[in-house]
Structure 1
Amino acid sequence: MLEKRIPPLALVLIIGMLMWVIANWSPRIDTSEALRLSLAAILLALGTLFPLAGVMSFRSAQTTVDPRTPEASSKLVSSGVYRFSRNPMYVGFALWLLAWGVFLASAWALVGVIFFVVYMNRFQIEPEERALRDLFGEDFREYERRVRRWI
């Protein structure tokens, strides 16, 4: 089991709240509301497709989706959206935060997206990948060489 970490969805909520606080205390980007809302909606839709595709791939392979227990994985999933990203669910979550930042119209709030990516790399993805290397050995190492971590 991974060391005690903040579950990814909880982290998205926490960062989203912090982005809202920052947006309310910082100058807003002066832009067309229609453009801002359209861009936020597109990012939100894309951000939803990535995790859905990831969950569908895991369900199809009949293995665990729980990011807290990568050692419980019964199969290495490298098909579907996992051909393009080793972490499509986290890509989706980052896109949600980006959509939220665009909606809030605050450049400073977008720092939350950067924090999310840095935190996820260090405290979620690296331990997950260590566990998957131990579990799947050379198959996972080959997958790491072929497929990028994010996009």
Structure 2
Amino acid sequence: MTNAPKVPPLVVLAAGLALAWLIDRFVDEGAVTPVWFGWGAGVVGIGTAVALAGVIEFRRARTTVDPMRPERASALVSSGIYRVTRNPMYLGFALILVGWIVALRCLPALPIAAVFVLYLDRVQIPPEEAALQACFGSAFDEYASRVRRWL
């Protein structure tokens, strides 16, 4: 058992999306225009693609995608999108949140995205990386030395 957080990242993302929506209900930034919605939808699409690319690589490697049980990892994935970022699923989630905020045209909600990334970076990712280091040792250390946590 690891000391991984007990709140799944998808739940944290859902809370961020909901909080942005609530802020949008109370802060009048003007009507959503097709341009704002288009840019936001584009960012959401990119985020979805990035997150799915991470899931696909995990599936190809036949390892767990469960962030609550990183010690169950059966393979150190360093192919595909994992050559560019160690956390494509989380990067994708952050882009989805930013895209949602842009689509809502609720820029006062942007700090939610910053808090979300900070939470992942300081609370969620360190126990996952500790579990991977325990499982894969120097192979993980070498991988972490050449691929950045985010970008």
Structure 2 length as normaliser, TM-score?
0.93
1: distance between equivalents of 2:3 and 2:60?
24
Contact 1:22–1:109 (Cα < 8 Å) also in 2: yes
SS at match of 1:109: helix
* Identity within the alignment, %: 45
Report the number of matched residues. Answer: 150
> Paired residue for 2:24?
23
Letter in 2 for 1:134: A
Q: How far apart are residue 32 of structure 1 and its match?
A: 7.3
Contact 2:57–2:79 (Cα < 8 Å) also in 1: yes
> Paired residue for 1:82?
82
Deviating above 3 A after TM superposition, structure 1's stretches of 4 or more consecutive aligned residues are: 1-4
> Paired residue for 1:147?
147
- CA deviations on 1:48-106 (whole Å, 9 max, x unpaired) are 11111111101111111111111111110000010000000001100110011001111
1: distance between equivalents of 2:80 and 2:147?
12
Cα distance 1:18–1:32, how it changes in 2: closer, same or farther (>3 A)?
A: closer
> Paired residue for 2:96?
96
Letter in 1 for 2:13: V
Letter in 2 for 1:56: I
